[in-house]
A = this chain, B = another copy of it.
Amino acid sequence: MGVKRPDRREFLRGGAALAGGLTVGAVEPAHGQAPEPERFIRGEADMIAYGERSPFVTSVRIPHPPGGRESPDAFGLVFHVAAPLQDSVGTITPSSLHFVGTTRGSLMPEIDPSEHRLMIHGLVDRPLVFTMEDLKRLPSVTRLHFIECAGNNARATHKTVQETHGMTSCAEWTGVLLSTLLEEAGVKDGASWVVAEGTENVKGASSFPLAKAMDDCIVAYGMNGEAVRPQNGFPLRLLIPGFEGIFNTKYLRRIKVVDRYYMNYNDYGHLRRDSVRAALGYQIGPKSVITFPSGGQKLSGRGFYEVSGLAWSGGGAITRVEVSTDAGRSWQEAEIQGTAHRMAHTRFRLAWNWDGQETQLMSRCTDEVGQMQPLPTQVAEHFNAAPDPSYRVPGLDNTIQPWRIASDGSVHNARA
């Protein structure tokens, strides 16, 4: 019946494109449709209670930084796990693949929610303690938000997008606005900062400005339609949208309203910053990265591809993404998928016909307050002006990630 595979080079150029008989790749045999099934999904326990993914889907998280499970440093064990962004589709990161950052090795508490409490105290009129049941009775919100670890820094030695950018993920979070709880407790005059503490060995405490606490922070018990996952703070996690990941306190058990900045364990990364740099560090991005094609993947030949990636910013919603397919010489406007949410991963896409020549792909985004993602050279200048050059500020490294497409279709980190 003359069935053949469509010609990707000509795809979308017009209905008549295939008439010329140009084809790339093998022509399918006449019996082109899928074979009859021989295997069937296994037994009823899986089928009913809580479904599993296909055994053919093997995308997994990896330790971060690449190559090691543990990277001891001056503060103890650091144990991070990066999400496989190279396999991502859409905007949500599946909870099972959401990146994980810890401040204290693998000692993440397994908490019985019936025993968990959240205390609001400090400079408030009425100190309060909430059970999980209490919290679930209160007015709630559901919002898409990314979290990104400040350690999500693309280095020249990183080979894949999981290595360069895997320490960010995006989920649909549900919970109570922190402002709702603080209004009920009644914030006293003179309060200006908030300390959030988690149920971890080192408390996982962070300090952040009261203005942010009264704005858009979420005390979250829901993640992607079910309970927050254990590795992400079950039963309760603080979301501080757009701030460095370490502020998003997991296993949240205490909110203390205070009158000045309190230095806590999780602030170690900010120790030697001056106040201006510290304030900048609160806010991630704007940042974007192409997830397909990305390092370690391989194009199967010249022709049509959809370039696709993620953009996000601590400054608000992504308003524009541009993609260059010629190593930055020219830029094309990418399509943004649906509604770009504030402080959320935003999927972008661009149709591209690869001519088979070596080139570089890169993306850059702009957010609603007008910030544009910089070139690496621009950030290098910024870094060199730092008061303490010995302190690496990875959270501020939101530079453009270039991917080199070799003429054999293989994709490489162009920073290498």
A2 and B304: CB pair below 8 A? no
- Scan A188-220; emit 1 where CB is below 8 A from any B CB, else 0: 000000000001100000000000000000000
In the complex, which residues of chain B have a beta carbon less than 8 angstroms from the beta carbon of A40?
A: 106-110
In chain A between 33 and 79, which residues have their CB closer than 8 angstroms to a CB of chain B?
33-37, 39-42, 44, 47-57, 59-63, 69
A388 within 8 A of B: no
Q: Which residue of B lies closest to A83 (CB)?
A: B225
Q: How many copies of this chain?
A: 2
**Interface pair A33/B119, CB less than 8 Å apart:** yes
Of residues 60 through 106 on chain A, the ones whose CB sits less than 8 Å from some CB of chain B are 60-63, 69, 81, 87-98, 100, 106
Query: Cβ of B49 and Cβ of A139 under 8 Å apart?
Result: no
With A28-B129, A337-B142 already in contact, the answer to whether A94 and B11 are too (CB < 8 A) is: no
Is the CB–CB distance between B33 and A129 below 8 Å?
A: yes
A186 within 8 A of B: yes
Q: Name the CB-closest residue of B to A3.
A: B127
User: How many A residues touch the partner, as a band?
Assistant: 35 or more
Q: Annotate A1-17 by CB proximity to B: 1 below 8 A, 0 otherwise.
A: 11111101001100100
User: Which residues of the other chain, B, contact A18 by a CB distance below 8 angstroms?
Assistant: 126, 184
Q: When chains A and B are docked, how far (Å) is the Cα of A141 from the Cα of B142?
A: 23
Q: Do residues A130 and B6 form an inter-chain contact, with CB atoms below 8 A?
A: yes
List, in ascending order, chain B residues with CB within 8 A of A115's CB: 34-35
CA distance A140 to B39 in the complex (A): 29
Q: Are A37 and B306 in contact (CB under 8 A)?
A: no
Q: Are B230 and A54 in contact (CB under 8 A)?
A: yes
Contact B95 A92 (CB under 8 A): no
CB-CB < 8 A to A326: which residues of B?
none
Once A91-B172, A184-B6, A337-B142 are accepted as A-B contacts, the answer to whether A37 and B97 lie under 8 Å apart by CB is no
Interface 1/0 per residue, A215-229 and B, CB below 8 Å: 000000110111101
| Cβ–Cβ < 8 Å partners of A172 in chain B | 90-92
Contact B110 A231 (CB under 8 A): no
| Given A41-B109, A81-B47; A227-B306 close (CB under 8 Å) | no
Binding site for B on A (CB under 8 A): 1-6, 8, 11-12, 15, 18-19, 28, 32-37, 39-42, 44, 47-57, 59-63, 69, 81, 87-98, 100, 106-113, 115-119, 121, 125-131, 133-134, 137-143, 172-174, 180, 183-184, 186, 199-200, 221-222, 224-227, 229-231, 234-235, 251, 253-254, 300, 303-306, 308, 337-339, 341, 347, 349, 351
